[in-house]
């Protein structure tokens, strides 16, 4: 759409600017402030320069939680995206079942995150939870509070449970926007179901998939509440992701300097990856 | 090879989604003794005790009221400030518009954990700590960018001729905006409100950080019980089950818009 | 390639609850010749899209059967019918190049690459797509995309029929006639049966050898453009084809004479006065002239369209239109008009009376 140049439009965005800036700038400045200083309480601060940044970047603890975070985000993307596409492809397009499917599938998205954690905690309890009990009675040795592998699996499956529906809904909407003529043309051209998917459905899904992957990346990278309630980061540190580690340092140990430095590094990483991803996708689209 | 019927995969997926929810519901109807006594698929001694406790104890039911209050305030604020801004982004070019838009979106990418502590200090400093409005304002950080993004998508789909005709007919900007434009994008507002409601309702970290007693959300009340692990699982399950209801209601009302909102590719 | 035959084809969509079920297609019996260029013409909702979907296999008719040559294809799936179709909105595979788009149907049928390359080259030449063969299909304009959809049908050597569903809807007006003449040329070149669905009479009349006019779920007339013009079988055809359409006037008979109001009219066919039903006289504006004797009329309006003029007159509150040459003189007062007997027809209950005089 051709837009007209109008500097007065600034007035229309001012309320948004004020509210968001209030919430973003002041806290961000506070974080920057902490990250450069040392405090021993009593509101006394000493200039520390970039010491904290060096410390965080060199600390093995940060490397470990960063790696865990990458592994987790990678795993859930690899599972959720294909699964979401698969469910969206097989969902009904018309009739009363559409509403039923949409409502039931959207339900996990609207459950408060700590309830999700609590629900899975109850679900997976080895002796009295539905999942834990079933697995153990089938002969699997499963206890997510003690075995790192079980804890990891449970966390990943919980995220799949929680967020795959977002991918499904996005893909479903994308699929619904393909006119019937395309399918009819493919039938006339003798295309196999795979060819229909590869040359008609997948290209049309590209845009919504970009958004789905971007959103899932951002949100899983920031994940805090669900694994915190489910496992508390344990057993040991095995499910301590970046956010959990950050809160442990900031509120648990009250190491404000390192926590602030870590916050900024963390934020920059998210921004950088999103920006890179977005730019690559946009460039592909233009070609 | 046996061909699976087409409904097989969605059905399996929905069963997978429903199982933990069933676990939660069934536990909410059990007595503490039964829960700790071992696993049972159906409640053996069906009881409403847990629900009765929640509806009679103010520390419990106030949690729901608090949550609903700040969620509604947040939705109203987010939509009302996002509307004119989205209009500006969809209709005008102005100095720094693209940068501003991108900057807004970066706030959607800010991990709440990063902001928890500074938020606590900021809202304490302006004496808003433990009020509904504090949580509602804090949630604006990620909900306003989202609302602007969604609404801008809907508005760009409306031809500019609508505006021009109205101005030619002698409408002033605000009269046109409120009388003609807002009703035209009612569906978009519905979708944006849905997402604001959703993100504000499910977020806990900031809501918990900014409240202690008076505005404590239900989700935070639950963590108190959760930390006394195993002790009051039935009560926890009942409280959790009740948090499903507002979400289910909202989905039911916007079910026809969900696909449309997503279709715009603006989430 | 094949002859297409419909035997007692009827179709009804699943009825909406609370509504009387009606046939979208009322009994169709037709034989369409191999290699013909047919146009399906009719207003929206007349059943032409239903008929098209029955040919393409998207719909199975509720009753009756469809034959391609001697094969009954009523229950065959689209893939097995060997047809090609060009849709209203262009369908191209966005991610593929033009070449791959054209090769797609052949690759799906497992044909070897050298043969494919030959066929694609040939078709690209026919459609003037040679210069863009290796660009991405999504970058083309609407007419280019429609050519690709057509090309995907042309590359196959086994196609029974190529169907066009209002293919010029999204094409720029100045390109429309170019593409249309291209189609006509291709039809003469390769001689495959073509069916062209449209609601635009100009498109239908210029494209087709035979025009199939549909109205309210039935085929009201099949004929060459000239036949449709000179002897419409149904008042709808008279009204729908031609600009302005045929004048339809109330008539009655007395013995063997036909009358319009009190004026005795010479007609090409005759009516029996014993039969019931509404009797009407149809005469095209082109076949009415001013004369010294005849029906007295009042002149209401003259539209000068350059090469001809349309004169609107009234006779006892009936409006009648005439088309006369640019140099013909319109009488200023006490005008009288005369119908050309060979081109004046009697209709009973909208259908032409078959007994020629």
Range from A23-37, A137-151, B30-44 carrying the lowest mean pLDDT: B30-44
- B149 and B30 in a single domain? The answer is no
**With bands split at pLDDT 50, 70 and 90, how would you rate the model's confidence at B78?**
very high
pLDDT digits (tens, 9 = 90+) for C226-282: 988 999 999 999 988 888 889 999 988 887 788 888 888 888 887 776 677 888 999
Mean of pLDDT values over A129-156 = 86
- Rounded CA-CA distance C213/C209 in Å is 13
- Chain A environment of B39 (Cβ under 8 Å): 127-130, 133
Within-domain flag for B192: yes
Which two structure tokens, joined as six digits, stand for A68?
């865990």
Which two structure tokens, joined as six digits, stand for A274?
């999103």
Helices (H) and strands (E) in chain A, counts: 13, 3
Rounded to a whole number of angstroms, the distance from the CA of B161 to the nearest CA of chain A is 11
DSSP letter, residue A144: T
Enter the ipTM: 0.84
Domains along chain C with CATH numbers: 4-236 (3.40.50.300), 246-352 (2.40.50.140)
Domain ranges of chain A: 60-286
A194-198, A203-207, B216-220, C24-28: which is most confident: A194-198
**With bands split at pLDDT 50, 70 and 90, how would you rate the model's confidence at A218?**
confident
- Rounded CA-CA distance C238/B226 in Å is 82
- B149 and B19 in a single domain? The answer is no
**CATH number of domain containing B68:** 1.10.3720.10
Asked if A191's CB is within 8 angstroms of C83's CB, the reply is: no
pLDDT digits (tens, 9 = 90+) for C34-47: 888 999 998 888 88
- B141 and B20 in a single domain? The answer is no
Range from B247-256, C25-34, C317-326 carrying the lowest mean pLDDT: B247-256
- B70 and B18 in a single domain? The answer is no
Within-domain flag for B61: yes
Which two structure tokens, joined as six digits, stand for B184?
């035209």
Mean of pLDDT values over A187-200 = 89
Among the residues of A36-129, which ranges form H helices? Answer: 51-58, 60-90, 96-106, 113-124
pLDDT for the residue C236: 92
pLDDT digits (tens, 9 = 90+) for B90-139: 888 888 887 888 788 788 777 777 778 788 888 888 888 888 999 999 99
- Rounded CA-CA distance C143/C127 in Å is 11
pLDDT for the residue B3: 67
On whether the CB atoms of residues A92 and A101 are closer than 8 A, the answer is yes
- B185 and B104 in a single domain? The answer is yes
- B63 and B158 in a single domain? The answer is yes
Size of interface A-B (CB pairs under 8 A): 285
Mean of pLDDT values over A113-134 = 85
**With bands split at pLDDT 50, 70 and 90, how would you rate the model's confidence at C1?**
low
Helix (H) or strand (E) holding C10: strand C4-11
Counting the structural domains of chain B, the total is 2
Mean of pLDDT values over B262-266 = 51
Which two structure tokens, joined as six digits, stand for B56?
């009679």
Within-domain flag for B52: no
- B71 and B27 in a single domain? The answer is no
pLDDT for the residue B72: 93
Asked if C95's CB is within 8 angstroms of A185's CB, the reply is: no
Mean of pLDDT values over B135-146 = 90
pLDDT for the residue A225: 83
- B90 and B26 in a single domain? The answer is no
B19 pLDDT above the threshold of 60: yes
Average pLDDT, chain B: 83
**With bands split at pLDDT 50, 70 and 90, how would you rate the model's confidence at C356?**
low
- B40 and B78 in a single domain? The answer is no
DSSP letter, residue C328: P
- Rounded CA-CA distance A104/A101 in Å is 5
On whether the CB atoms of residues A118 and A229 are closer than 8 A, the answer is yes
Rounded to a whole number of angstroms, the distance from the CA of A138 to the nearest CA of chain C is 47
Asked if A3's CB is within 8 angstroms of B111's CB, the reply is: no
% of chain A residues with pLDDT over 70: 94
Asked if B140's CB is within 8 angstroms of A169's CB, the reply is: no
- Rounded CA-CA distance A158/B182 in Å is 39
Residue B213 belongs to domain spanning: 57-263
pLDDT for the residue A76: 94
- B37 and B158 in a single domain? The answer is no
Within-domain flag for B21: yes
A164 pLDDT above the threshold of 90: yes
C165 pLDDT above the threshold of 70: yes
Rounded to a whole number of angstroms, the distance from the CA of C342 to the nearest CA of chain A is 47
> At what angle are helices A60-90 and A148-176 packed, to 10 degrees?
40
- B122 and B14 in a single domain? The answer is no
pLDDT for the residue A8: 82
Asked if A263's CB is within 8 angstroms of B240's CB, the reply is: no
- Rounded CA-CA distance B94/A57 in Å is 40
The DSSP bridge partners found for residue A5 are B93
Within-domain flag for B212: yes
Q: Does A195 touch chain C (CB under 8 A)?
A: yes
On whether the CB atoms of residues A88 and A165 are closer than 8 A, the answer is no
- Chain A environment of B100 (Cβ under 8 Å): 13, 17
- Rounded CA-CA distance A219/A101 in Å is 24
pLDDT for the residue B225: 55
On whether the CB atoms of residues A184 and C56 are closer than 8 A, the answer is yes
Nearest residue of A to residue C84 by CA position?
Answer: A188
- Rounded CA-CA distance B153/B264 in Å is 7
**Touching A: which chains, 3+ CB pairs < 8 A?**
B, C
pLDDT digits (tens, 9 = 90+) for B200-236: 998 888 888 888 878 788 777 776 655 444 557 788 8
pLDDT for the residue A21: 87
C94, C109, C149 member nearest A203 (Cβ) = C94
On whether the CB atoms of residues B184 and B70 are closer than 8 A, the answer is no
B165 pLDDT above the threshold of 80: yes
pLDDT for the residue A39: 66
Give the rounded distance of the alpha carbon of B46 from its chain centre: 32
Nearest residue of A to residue C159 by CA position?
Answer: A188
CA angle B250, B252, B257 (to 5 degrees): 85
Residue C244: is the preceding peptide bond cis (ω within 30°)?
yes
**SS3 (DSSP) at C351:** strand
Asked if B27's CB is within 8 angstroms of A103's CB, the reply is: no
- Chain C environment of A182 (Cβ under 8 Å): 91
- B62 and B42 in a single domain? The answer is no
Which two structure tokens, joined as six digits, stand for C264?
């005795």
Write down the pTM of the prediction: 0.81
**With bands split at pLDDT 50, 70 and 90, how would you rate the model's confidence at B262?**
low
Residue located via tokens 């006594």: B37
Helix (H) or strand (E) holding C64: strand C63-68
Length of chain A: 287
Task: Please indicate whether residue B213 or residue C108 has the higher confidence score (pLDDT).
Answer: C108
Q: Which fold has domain A60-286?
A: MetI-like fold (1.10.3720)
- Rounded CA-CA distance A10/B97 in Å is 9
């Amino acid at each position: 759409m051709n837009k007209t140049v109008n500097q007065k439009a600034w007035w229309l965005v001012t309320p948004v600017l004020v509210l968001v800036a209030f919430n973003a700038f002041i806290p961000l400045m506070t974080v920057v402030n902490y990250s450069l200083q040392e405090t021993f309480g009593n509101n006394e601060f000493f200039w520390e320069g970039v010491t904290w940044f060096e410390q965080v970047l060199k600390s093995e603890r940060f490397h470990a939680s960063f790696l865990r975070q990458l592994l987790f985000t990678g795993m859930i993307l690899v599972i959720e995206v294909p699964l979401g596409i698969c469910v969206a492809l097989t969902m009904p397009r018309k009739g009363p079942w559409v509403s039923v499917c949409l409502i039931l599938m959207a339900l996990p998205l609207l459950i408060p995150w700590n309830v999700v954690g609590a629900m899975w905690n109850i679900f997976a309890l080895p002796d009295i939870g539905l999942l834990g009990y079933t697995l153990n009675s089938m002969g699997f040795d499963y206890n997510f509070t003690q075995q790192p592998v079980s804890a990891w699996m449970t966390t990943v499956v919980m995220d799949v449970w929680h967020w795959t529906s977002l991918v499904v809904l996005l893909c479903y909407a994308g699929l619904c926007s393909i006119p019937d003529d395309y399918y009819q043309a493919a039938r006339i051209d003798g295309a196999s179901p795979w060819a229909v998917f590869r040359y008609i459905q997948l290209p049309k899904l590209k845009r919504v998939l970009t958004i789905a992957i971007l959103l899932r990346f951002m949100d899983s990278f920031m994940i805090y509440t669900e694994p915190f309630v489910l496992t508390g980061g344990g057993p040991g540190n095995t499910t301590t992701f970046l956010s959990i580690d950050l809160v442990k340092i900031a509120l648990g140990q009250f190491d404000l300097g390192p926590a602030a430095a870590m916050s900024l590094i963390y934020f920059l990483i998210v921004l950088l990856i999103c920006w890179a991803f977005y730019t690559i996708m946009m460039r592909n689209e233009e070609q | 090879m046996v061909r699976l019927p087409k409904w097989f995969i969605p059905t399996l997926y929905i069963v997978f989604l429903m199982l933990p929810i069933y676990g939660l519901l069934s536990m909410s109807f059990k007595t503490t003794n039964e829960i700790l006594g071992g696993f049972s698929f159906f409640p053996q001694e069906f009881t409403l005790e847990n629900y009765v406790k929640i509806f009679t104890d103010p520390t419990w039911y106030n949690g729901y009221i608090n949550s609903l209050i700040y969620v509604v305030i947040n939705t109203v604020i987010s939509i009302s400030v996002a509307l004119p801004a989205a209009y500006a982004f969809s209709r005008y070019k102005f100095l720094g518009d693209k940068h501003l838009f991108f900057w807004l979106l970066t706030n959607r990418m800010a991990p709440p954990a990063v902001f928890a502590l500074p938020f606590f200090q900021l809202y304490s400093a302006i004496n808003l700590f433990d009020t509904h409005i504090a949580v509602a304002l804090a949630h604006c950080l990620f909900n306003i960018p989202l609302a602007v993004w969604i609404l801008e998508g809907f508005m760009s789909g409306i031809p500019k001729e609508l505006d021009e005709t109205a101005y030619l007919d002698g409408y002033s900007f605000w009269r046109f905006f409120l009388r003609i434009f807002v009703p035209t994008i009612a569906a978009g507002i519905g979708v944006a409100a849905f997402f604001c409601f959703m993100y504000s309702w499910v977020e806990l970290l900031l809501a918990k950080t900014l409240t202690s007693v008076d505005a404590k959300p239900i989700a935070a009340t639950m963590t108190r019980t959760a930390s006394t692990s195993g002790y009051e699982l039935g009560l926890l399950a009942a409280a959790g089950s009740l948090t499903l209801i507002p979400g289910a209601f909202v989905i039911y009302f916007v079910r026809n818009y969900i696909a449309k909102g997503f279709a715009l590719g603006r989430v | 390639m094949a002859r297409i035959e419909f035997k007692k084809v009827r179709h009804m969509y699943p009825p909406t609850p609370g509504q009387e079920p009606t046939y979208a297609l009322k009994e169709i019996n037709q034989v369409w010749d191999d290699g013909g260029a047919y146009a399906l013409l009719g207003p929206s909702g007349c059943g032409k899209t239903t008929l098209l979907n029955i040919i393409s296999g998207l719909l199975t008719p509720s009753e009756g059967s469809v034959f391609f040559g001697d094969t009954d294809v009523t229950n065959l799936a689209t893939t097995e019918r060997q047809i090609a179709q060009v849709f209203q909105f262009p369908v191209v595979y966005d991610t593929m190049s033009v070449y791959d788009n054209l090769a797609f149907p052949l690759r799906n049928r497992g044909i070897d690459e050298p043969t494919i390359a030959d066929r694609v080259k040939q078709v690209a030449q026919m459609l003037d797509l040679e210069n863009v063969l290796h660009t991405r299909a999504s970058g083309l304009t609407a007419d280019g995309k429609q050519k690709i959809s057509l090309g995907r049908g042309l590359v196959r050597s086994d196609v029974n029929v190529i169907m066009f569903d209002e293919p010029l809807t999204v094409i720029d007006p100045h390109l429309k006639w170019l593409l249309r003449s291209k189609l006509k040329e291709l039809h003469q070149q390769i001689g495959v049966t073509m069916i062209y669905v449209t609601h635009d009479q100009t498109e239908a009349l210029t494209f087709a050898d035979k025009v199939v006019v549909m109205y309210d779920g039935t085929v009201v007339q099949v004929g060459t453009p000239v036949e449709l013009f000179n002897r419409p079988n149904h008042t709808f055809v008279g009204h729908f084809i031609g600009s302005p359409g045929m004048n339809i006037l109330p008539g009655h008979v007395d013995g063997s004479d036909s009358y319009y109001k009190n004026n005795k009219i010479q007609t090409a066919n005759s009516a029996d006065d014993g039969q019931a039903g509404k009797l009407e006289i149809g005469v095209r504006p082109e076949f009415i002239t001013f004369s010294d004797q005849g029906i007295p009329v009042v002149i209401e309006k003259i539209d000068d369209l350059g090469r001809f003029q349309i004169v609107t007159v009234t006779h006892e509150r009936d409006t009648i239109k005439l088309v006369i040459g640019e140099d013909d003189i319109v009488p200023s007062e006490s005008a009288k008009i005369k119908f050309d007997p060979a081109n004046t027809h009697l209709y009973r209950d909208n259908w032409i009376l078959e007994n020629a005089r």
